[in-house]
Amino acid sequence: MKAEIALPTAKAGSLTRLPAASNWRNGPATPLVQRQICGWPVWLKLEKENPAGSHKDRPTLLFVAFLLLHGWIGRKPMVLIISSSGNCARALAFYTTGLGVKLIVVTDALSPVEQIESLRAFPHVEVVVINDPDATGSHAIARKKFVEGFLKKHPNAVCVDQYSSSFFPRGYDSLVEEIEAQTPGTVSAIFMSAGTGATGLCLANFKIKKRRRWKLFLVDATSSALFGKPMGKRLNSGYGNGKPTSWTMLATPSIDAVIRVPDAAAIQTCRRLSQNDGLHLGASSGATVAAFEWLATNQPFEIPNFGFPVLICPDGGHLYSSTVYNDQFLRDHGLNQLTNGKILTNSN
């Protein structure tokens, strides 16, 4: 006799579908503020106004919603582990609060102490700080090793991998849609820093799929190996990387240009924006504004002559009080005389 196979809950023809990524957003849009930079009116998209303080809220909320929808969390205890320099981990900590999750965050010595402290404030979070830099000053390889070792010992734990989970590029659809809704038909170019490259890939995919005419500029650190040979040790956290990522490699054919900014120029721009423009922003936002200034000064013909450029500012300056905004930190790194430095494009 043939054994009968019963599917206990699924009705014939029933499928569980996730709504479009942007439908998970239930908060207001983050602000878009206008400033004059090098004589150009530009829009700055302030992602620090997301509930957990950065653009990482978007993919993380999508990921947690998926786990909840499928009963992975919320009903039984679950261990999640993430390697993050801060923002993604904080978003994950924020959205998993009260859901029976234990979250292990693997971060490193480059992360500002205020990032680490903000994570330790969550009762369900355990923070592991790795201090094992490679030749470029990146701790990414050592962090990866730690996560692999943890998963071997705890096979039921789930790793939230920003570098391979497609929740990450998909989760930024709401960001692009929001920008376009706030600036109907007037975006001329979008500037975004790259770390994992997930936001850059989302922007690249969106541009191609929807046949947008805006240009896409990605911003990297000269000390990063994402888009070329790294120069010097990395100082800033959040953006840049010790090696190319799958997201940056997928995005590269659809990027108009990469602008690489020295860490000192990013820091100097952050401090100037904070003092003169009422904008207290994180290091990657400073790098993005510095990249725009470099382009507007040196190759203004690269900026389309319709509409307005949009500069995405991933997080706020309060997470960098001990680094970017700390004079002693600058002195310790020989930056007491901040100079503009040389900014390279991918054509150099």
Ligand X SMILES: Cc1ncc(COP(=O)(O)O)c(C=O)c1O
Residues near ligand X (CB under 6 A): 54, 87-88, 193-200, 238-239, 282, 284, 314-315
As measured in angstroms, the least distance from the Cβ of 194 to ligand X is 4
As measured in angstroms, the least distance from the Cβ of 204 to ligand X is 12
- Tokens coding 250: 């997928």
Report CA-CA distances (Å) from 339 to 266, 267, 268, 293, 330: 10, 10, 8, 15, 12
Phi-psi region of 316 (alpha: psi -120 to 50; beta: other; left: phi over 0): beta
Query: CA–CA separation, 319 vs 284, rounded Å?
Result: 12
In DSSP notation, 50-103 reads STTSBTTHHHHHHHHHHHHHTTSSSSS-EEEEEE-SSHHHHHHHHHHTTTTEEE
As measured in angstroms, the least distance from the Cβ of 100 to ligand X is 26
Q: Which is nearer to ligand X, 78 or 169 (by Cβ)? A: 169
Specify the long-range contacts of residues 327-332, CB closer than 8 Å, at least 24 apart: 330/267
Q: Which is nearer to ligand X, 78 or 255 (by Cβ)? A: 255
Q: Which is nearer to ligand X, 78 or 266 (by Cβ)? A: 266
Q: How many residues does the chain have?
A: 348
As measured in angstroms, the least distance from the Cβ of 84 to ligand X is 7
As measured in angstroms, the least distance from the Cβ of 245 to ligand X is 8
Q: Which is nearer to ligand X, 196 or 252 (by Cβ)? A: 196
Q: Which is nearer to ligand X, 69 or 318 (by Cβ)? A: 318
Using DSSP bridges, classify how beta strands 215-221 and 187-193 pair: parallel, antiparallel or unpaired.
parallel
